[in-house]
Amino acid sequence: MRERLVYLRDVSYRYPDSKTQTLQNINFDGYRDEIVLLIGPSGCGKSTLARIFNGLIPNFYGGQLQGEIDIAGYDPRKTPTAKFAKTVGFVFQNPENQLFFNTVERELAFGLENLGVPPAEIRKKIDEALREYGIEELRQRSPFELSSGQQQKVALASVMIMQPQILILDEPTANLDPLSALKMIGLIAKKTREHRMLTILIEHRLEIALQFATRVVVMNEGQIIADGPPLETVLKTDYIVGAPPMVQLSKKLQSSGFPVNIDKLVPEAMALEIIRKLSKGGLDERKRREDNRDR
Amino acid sequence: MSESEEKIIEIDNVYYEYPEGIQALRGVTNYVLRGEIVAIMGENGAGKTTLIKHFNGLLKPTRGRIKVKDKDTRKTSVAELSRIVGIVFQNPDHQLFAETVFDEVAFPLRNFGFPEDVIENRVKWALNILELYQYCDKSPFMLSVGERKRLAIASVLAYDPEVIVLDEPTAGQDYLQKEKISEIIKLLKLMGKTIVLVTHDVEFVTMYVQRIIVMSQGKIIAEGPPHRVLTDYNVIRRGNLLPPQLVRISRALYGKSLLDRYDYLSVEDLSREIISKMREANGGTSSI
C-alpha cells in the first residue's frame, strides 16, 4: 500500500493583509515515491501551497489557515518551523537566498550541527554528500563564487543531507541553461527514488520537467483544477499551462486518428512508438495479434 | 551590401577582461543586421550578458572594437549609444526604481530631454502596447513579476531605440506570460525593430528567431539559422543546450529512413509528414 505523507482537506489560506483567499478548498494527498509536478500561472498559489508544506505558513507569514492538514504527522499550526526542517527540505529558485556560509563544507554542516549530530558523523555525511552530488572539488570554495548550476547542486545537497521525507523545489532551474536544468531535475528524480521521498516540483519548463513527473497538479486562481497522470493532465489544461512541442504533436496525431501511446514523455520514446506504427514489422505484428484474437 | 543587409552592430575581435581578471570574451567577431531577430545562446557563464553590455557601451572592449551604426563604442557616450540600443535586463528589479509606473517609463525620456507633451504621449503609447496603462499611478513594486518584466520593456520601448536587446525574456515566466512576450516580439518586428534575445529557451527560439549565435567560454562556437544550428548535436553539446523536441523526434525517424530530413521545427510540418506516412502505411495493409 502506498504510504501517504501529506494530507490536505478543504484547506484555504488568506495572507494577513489580504482581503481575498490565496488558496481555496485545496484537497491534496501526497505519497512516498511520487514526483508531483505542480504547475499553473504566476500568482495561482503554487508557492503559497509550498509554504504550507514546510510550515512557513502560518509560522512565518501569519494569516488565516483553515482545513485539515497533516504533513508527515505535523500540523503546521501546532508545530514550529524548526521541526519541519528535518522532515521537509526546500530548494528555492535562487540558491543565493539559502546559502549563507563561506565554504561549501560549512554550508553542508550547518543543519546537522543544529540537530546536534556528533562531529564525526557530520564529517562522514559531508564526505558522502560531496561525493554523491559530484561537488567534492568545491568543498573549500565559497558558495557565492560558484556558477548557478553548482550553487543549485550545493543547495540541494545541503537540504538532502538532512534526509528529508518530503522535498519541495520552487523553480529550481529558472536560471540554468537547458542541459544543466535537465541534469538538475534528473538528479532530483534519482534522489527521490533512492531515498523514497515525496517530491513536489514547481517548474515552468515543462519540456524538461514533464518526463520526470509521476503526477501533475495544475492550479489556477488559488484552486487545484486538475490532478492526474502527466500527459493526460497537461492535455486537459494546455490552454493555461501550455504544452511542449512533443505533447502538441501527439495531440495532432491523435486528432487525425493516429493516437501514439507513450509511457515516458521523452521525444525518443515517442519517435520509437511512431516508428513501430510505421514500420512493416509493427504492422505485421499487429496483424498477427489480430489473427490470434480471431482464432 | 544591400540595404536590408546593413550591419547595425559590428563586433570585431572583441576581448573583455573583468577587473577581477576573468576573461569573459576571448576574440568575438560577429554582427547584428538591421531588422533581424537574432538569439545569443550558450551555457551559464559563456559571456552572453557581457557581450550585450558592450552594445550600449556599458562595457568597453579590453581589445578589439564594437561599432554601433558606425560609431566606435569606446569613443561614444553610453547616453548616445542607449538612444540606438535599449537593453532590458533579466531581472527587472535591477532597473526599476521610480515611484510610479508612469515615472518609470518617463525617466529615460526626461533624461534624453524630450519635451513633456511628447513624453506623455510616448509613455501612454508604450504602456498601452504592453497592457500596463491601468497601473499608471501605481508603484512598480506592486506589479507581478511578469508585469514588471513588461514594464522594463515599456521603459525601453518608449524612447524608441532601433535595437532592443532582451536578456532572458522568458526565464521564470509562465506559459501565458511567455505568449504575451511572443506577441510583443512579433509587434516589435512589425515595427521594424532589430531584436537581440539572450536566451536558454530552445523551443522559443525555433519559433521566432532568424539567426542564432552560440557562445561557449567567451567565444562564438556556431552561428546560423535555427534549423541548422539546433540540429548540430556537437554545437548543442558544447553550448549546454538541448536539441528541440521535434528535432529529436525527426532525427530518430530520419535514422530509420522514415523521413528525408531532420530539421523539423514546427509541429504543423512534422505532424503533416507523419500523418501522411501513417495513412500510406495503413493504406498499405488494407491493400495486402
Residue A185 structural domain: 4-237
Bigger pLDDT: B280 vs B203: B203
User: Which of A177, A244, A278 has its CB closest to that of B203?
Assistant: A244
* Contact criterion met (CB < 8 Å) for A258 and B275: yes
Task: Return left, alpha or beta for A10; rule: phi > 0 is left, psi -120 to 50 is alpha, else beta.
Answer: left
- On whether both A153 and A227 belong to a single domain, the answer is yes
- On whether both A216 and A263 belong to a single domain, the answer is no
- On whether both A85 and A224 belong to a single domain, the answer is yes
* Contact criterion met (CB < 8 Å) for A249 and B270: yes
CB-CB neighbors (< 8 A) of A272 in chain B: 252
Q: Which residues contact A12 (CB under 8 A, 6 or more apart)?
A: A21, A23, A24, A25, A26, A65, A66, A67
- On whether both A202 and A248 belong to a single domain, the answer is no
Report pLDDT for A99: 85
Bigger pLDDT: A148 vs B136: B136
- On whether both A264 and A173 belong to a single domain, the answer is no
**Across chain A, what does the average pLDDT equal?**
90
Domains of chain B: 3-243 (3.40.50.300), 244-288 (no CATH)
User: Which of A147, A182, A287 has its CB closest to that of B285?
Assistant: A287
Residue B286 — very low, low, confident or very high, per pLDDT cuts 50/70/90?
Answer: very low
- On whether both A24 and A98 belong to a single domain, the answer is yes
> Which cell is B225 given?
539559422
CB-CB neighbors (< 8 A) of A270 in chain B: 249
- On whether both A266 and A210 belong to a single domain, the answer is no
- On whether both A123 and A218 belong to a single domain, the answer is yes
- On whether both A129 and A38 belong to a single domain, the answer is yes
**How far apart, in whole angstroms, are the C-alpha atoms of residue B8 and residue B69?**
5
CB-CB neighbors (< 8 A) of B270 in chain A: 249
Bigger pLDDT: B25 vs A176: B25
* Contact criterion met (CB < 8 Å) for A249 and B248: no
* Contact criterion met (CB < 8 Å) for B275 and A207: no
Give chain A's domain count. 2
- On whether both A284 and A138 belong to a single domain, the answer is no
Secondary structure of residue A5 in the 3-state scheme: strand
- On whether both A155 and A40 belong to a single domain, the answer is yes
**Among the listed ranges A113-122, A196-205, B86-95, which one has the minimum average pLDDT value?**
B86-95
pLDDT 10s digits, A250-281:
999 999 999 888 878 999 999 999 998 888 64
- On whether both A228 and A252 belong to a single domain, the answer is no
pLDDT 10s digits, B36-46:
999 999 998 89
CB-CB neighbors (< 8 A) of A208 in chain B: 242
User: Which of A242, A252, A275 has its CB closest to that of B256?
Assistant: A275
Give the predicted TM-score (pTM) of the model: 0.88
B229 touches B214 (CB < 8 A): yes
A211 touches A265 (CB < 8 A): yes
Query: Which ipTM score applies to this complex?
Result: 0.86
Q: How far is CA B183 from CA A66, B91, B172, B188, B276, in A?
A: 40, 20, 17, 9, 32
B62 touches B12 (CB < 8 A): no
